[in-house]
Amino acid sequence: MQTFLHGRDLIGDLDFSKEEVETVLDVAWDLKRKRALNEPHPYLRDKALAMLFFFSSTRTRGSFEAGMAQLGGHAGFIESKSTQISHGDTAREIGEIYGRYYDGIAIRHCDWLAGNPYINEVAKNARVPVLNMQCDIYHPFQCLADLMTIMEKKGRDLRKKKIVVSWAYAASYLKPISVPQSLILQMPRFGMDVTLSYPPEFMLMPEIEQQARDEARKAGTAFEIVHDMDEGMRGADIVYAKSWGPLLTTADGVEGKRLQDSYKDWIMDQRRLELANPDAIYMHPLPADRNIEVTDEVLDGPHSVVFDEAENRLHAQKAVMALTMG
């Protein structure tokens, strides 16, 4: 077990080794048990976390705020649009200044080709840990919660379990590609066979897909890409179907919406769920476009673990904060 993570940033999914991720999960389960037993665990007493949001949030804000309070600290909610960040404060200045005010800086910035560089620039200039609450490339805390949930439902030994990470249609907006990218990077390291399924225009970053192949090869697992939703579902143990935008195909929102609307039949429904293994679980980071992206029958059905998944955001994030900020 690698236990010394004090002062470390978590920006990309591979920033922590497999052994370090296992430490995070062990701590997360311990904190989950303590919360269930109402045992105080103020490991971050008198510590303060800056939560800087460029992108709206429900679960991320709530779980980080609650987590810091349960750890005995305080989380400050800061919106870019309501501060001088929108009028000239640079990433370097935020790193320098907030690194002196706070004990950790957490940032959510999902603007395509802007979010990840911004977070890395803050980290370069901060003297405290910088945590990525989601950017345009990675969503590491969602992925940690997903891995935690999968292990709770399928056991710690995930070798040869198949996860399908599938695109699904959504009408709301062109969503970031960070969730599927994080999943395909992390899950091979824990023995899972990964199938990535999307229409041809909805590819992920080529370098991320190649990294996923490399991780699968090192772990002795399978990684494949298919362009048929039904094909991807067959034999899956974990079904993770959600929407993302065609950001590698077009930067034009109108054209992106036209492409998205041409695949309205890519909906996660009961028929497709039945193509997976009988004991398959369905996952989604939420919010989902109900009866467009996924049917109520699936989202609210017995195979769905979305609420356990959402809860585990709290525990996984608390573990990383306690380990890096303590």
- The domain ranges of the chain are 13-139+311-325, 142-309
pLDDT by residue (tens digit) across 11-29?
999 999 999 999 999 999 9
Whole-number Å distance between alpha carbons of 167 and 102: 38
Q: Is the pLDDT of residue 158 over 90?
A: yes
Mention every residue, 6+ apart, whose C-beta is less than 8 A from residue 290.
296, 299
pLDDT by residue (tens digit) across 42-53?
999 999 999 999
Element (H, E) at 209: helix 206-219
What average pLDDT does the chain have? 97
Residue 236 in 3-state DSSP? Answer: coil
Q: What pLDDT score was predicted for residue 86?
A: 82
Confidence of residue 172 (pLDDT cuts 50, 70, 90): confident
The domain defined by 142-309 carries CATH number 3.40.50.300: no
Mention every residue, 6+ apart, whose C-beta is less than 8 A from residue 24.
5, 16, 144, 316, 319, 320, 323
Residue 111 in 3-state DSSP? Answer: coil
Mean pLDDT, residues 70-83: 95
For strands 193-197 and 162-167, give the pairing. Answer: parallel
Whole-number Å distance between alpha carbons of 234 and 273: 9
pLDDT by residue (tens digit) across 285-298?
999 999 999 999 99
List residues bridging with 249 in a β-sheet: none
As a dihedral over the C-alpha atoms of residue 26, residue 28, residue 32, residue 35, rounded to 10 degrees, the angle is 120
Mean pLDDT, residues 78-98: 94
Whole-number Å distance between alpha carbons of 199 and 276: 19
Radius of gyration of the chain (CA): 19
Query: 13-139+311-325 belongs to which CATH class?
Result: alpha beta
| CB burial string 66-91: b at 16+ within 10 A, e below | bbbebbebebeebebeeeebeeeeeb
Confidence of residue 173 (pLDDT cuts 50, 70, 90): confident
Domains 13-139+311-325 and 142-309 share a fold: yes
Q: What pLDDT score was predicted for residue 177?
A: 98
For 208-211, which contacts have Cβ atoms below 8 Å and span 24 or more sequence positions?
A: 208/137, 208/181, 208/184, 209/184, 211/14, 211/185
Instruction: Give the global pTM.
Output: 0.97
Confidence of residue 258 (pLDDT cuts 50, 70, 90): very high
